[in-house]
Amino acid sequence: MMDILFTRLLLWRKKAISMLFWLLLPAIGTSLFITTVTTIKEDSRVPIGIVIGDESELATQLIDSIEASKLVRVSKYSEEEGLYNLEKHEIDSIFVIHDGFEQAILSGKRNNLISSYRTELSFAYSPVKELIVSLVQEESGRAKATQFILNMKEEYNGKESWTWDEITDKSKEIQIDENLLNTSFSYSNTNEPVESPSLLSWDTWGVWAIFSLLSALFLMDWAIREKSLAVTTRFSFIKTTQFSYYLNNILCYLLLFLLFDLINVVVFTIFLNEPLSIHFIFVLLTFRIMLCSLTYCLAQCFSKTGVFYGFSIIITLILVVISGTFIPILPHNDLIDFLNPLQAFINGNITILWNIIGISILAMVLFRKETTNA
């Protein structure tokens, strides 16, 4: 094993740049992708201006709700500054919260609570307006309910002392627990709807799995080069059997991959705030074993590296589409998930089935090599 490791290190030194490129591709590619799409998501939020004419609690809660929305990016201005920036088209629209907003809400008024300004280039005015109107209605309904409860307490001399903030917080808690603002629809004879992230959400380790697959495929090209006659004839002059030679080489690559996987775990944990657990370590270990066994077996099906590189890109693109890692084009299907070797890892599960398949095929390939060259 040490002799094979030493000779493999000599070969790695001769192509150190390409080796480092493919070994670092999963970490660098994933980090750049996640950072880029996060920046695009932030830049794609609609810029709007808010003019605060009322400093009341309800007005503050409304502004906090607007700022929490993923649709808009809020900037606070005076009315003159807001109109000036609107004329320069630096913001899409302006919404003015008038003085007396809280009093108007509590007295049941619905008109002239908020004014808005827009231009002919305010392309997102309608959805933003509907968002703000819905938030105003939500806050107004909550305020009315709170006022009604306090009035009932005074009228019937209630013993429990509830404050305005306590009633408001309780209503928000009930809204979240009961899922009052979300409704799921499904046709008959279909699976139950499942909570899923938005379209513009990406799983860091799912993206990493795609890059790791491509990296592993391109680094397994040594299995094609060493099938040449000039290489295979050396087994007649060395003590190492062909079976142990290839198995030890696969183990060398597995250890090298695991070393860089450990680096990736550290990088993602520190810089991308990815959670780490003992279970995930086993998930990662089984995924890497599966990749090494399957990529080696695939490389054995080719005699030219150029054709193998082309096939590697095609199979990676296919798995990108069916796994929905980058863009969820296809709906989830049990058969597709079963045929996708990356799916268990993407779902955070230990790769069992494809490990059994990969190791079984690897054993047959290695034993076949041993018998055909005996």
Domain boundary among 152, 182, 212: 182
Q: Same domain, yes or no, for 231 and 91?
A: no
pLDDT tens figures, 80-125: 999 999 999 889 999 999 888 888 877 767 677 788 999 888 888 8
Query: Which two structure tokens, joined as six digits, stand for 162?
Result: 């509830």
Length reported for the chain: 374
What pLDDT is recorded for position 194? 40
pTM, two decimals, is 0.67
pLDDT tens figures, 211-238: 999 999 999 999 998 876 566 666 666 6
* Number of other CB atoms surrounding residue 86 within 10 Å: 21
- Domain containing 222: what range? 2-37+200-372
pLDDT, mean of residues 42-55? 84
Instruction: Look up residue 66 and give its amino acid.
Output: I
Instruction: Look up residue 45 and give its amino acid.
Output: R
Residue 147 domain flag: yes
CATH number at residue 63: 3.40.190
Domain boundary among 147, 182, 217: 182
Report d(CA 3, CA 284) in Å as an integer: 28
Residue 195 domain flag: no
Q: Same domain, yes or no, for 238 and 162?
A: no
Number of structural domains in the chain: 2
Residue 305 domain flag: yes
Domain boundary among 182, 212, 236: 182
Residue 91 domain flag: yes
Q: Does residue 287 surpass a pLDDT of 70?
A: yes
- Which of 164, 358, 353, 166 shows the shortest CA–CA distance to 254? 358
